[in-house]
Amino acid sequence: MKKRSPKSRLLPSLVPAVAALIFAAHQGLQDSTPPAPVPAVIRHLLPEAELPPGPVAPPEGAAHAPELDVPRASLDPLRLPHEHLYRVNHLARARTLRELGDPAGAITECRRALHDDPGHEEALRLLARLAPREGSPDLALGALARLGDQFPEDASPLIQQARLLLSLGRFPEAVRVGEEALLREPEEAEVYQVLGRAHLAMGALPEAILRFQQAVHLAPEHGHALNNLGFAWLRANENQKAAEVLARAAALLPHVGHVHNNLGVAYERLGRMAEAQAAYAAATQLSPRYVKARLNAHRMNTVARLQETPALLEEPRVPVSQELEP
Within 10 A of 245 (CB to CB), how many other CB atoms are there?
A: 25
* pLDDT by 10s per residue, the chain, length 326: 555 555 555 555 665 655 555 554 444 444 444 444 444 444 443 344 443 444 444 445 444 444 445 555 557 899 999 887 878 899 999 999 999 999 999 999 999 999 999 999 999 999 999 999 999 999 999 999 999 999 999 999 999 999 999 999 999 999 999 999 999 999 999 999 999 999 999 999 999 999 999 999 999 999 999 999 999 999 999 999 999 999 999 999 999 999 999 999 999 999 999 999 999 999 999 988 888 888 888 888 877 777 765 544 444 333 333 444 55
Report whether 297 contacts 280 (CB < 8 A).
yes
Within 10 angstroms of residue 304's Cβ, the number of other Cβ atoms is 17
Compute the distance between CA of residue 96 and CA of residue 161 in angstroms, rounded to an integer: 26
Predicted local distance difference test score (pLDDT) of residue 17: 58
Give the domain 228-326 fold.
1.25.40
Q: What is the CA radius of gyration of the chain?
A: 35
pLDDT at residue number 65: 41
CATH code given to domain 78-150? 1.25.40.10
d(CA 49, CA 29): 21
pLDDT of residue 22: 54
Q: What distances in angstroms separate CA 207 from CA 137, 178, 212, 232, one per listed residue?
A: 27, 13, 9, 10
The pLDDT score that the predictor gives to residue 11 is 54
pLDDT of residue 120: 93
Buried b (16+ CB within 10 A) or exposed e, 117-148: ebebeebbbbbbbbbbeeebbebbbbbbbbbb
Q: Return the closest-CA partner of residue 260 out of 223, 232, 235, 233.
A: 223
**Domains 78-150 and 228-326 fall in the same CATH topology:** yes
pTM of this structure:
0.70
pLDDT at residue 323, rounded to an integer: 45
Q: Where are the domains of the chain?
A: 1-18+37-55, 78-150, 228-326
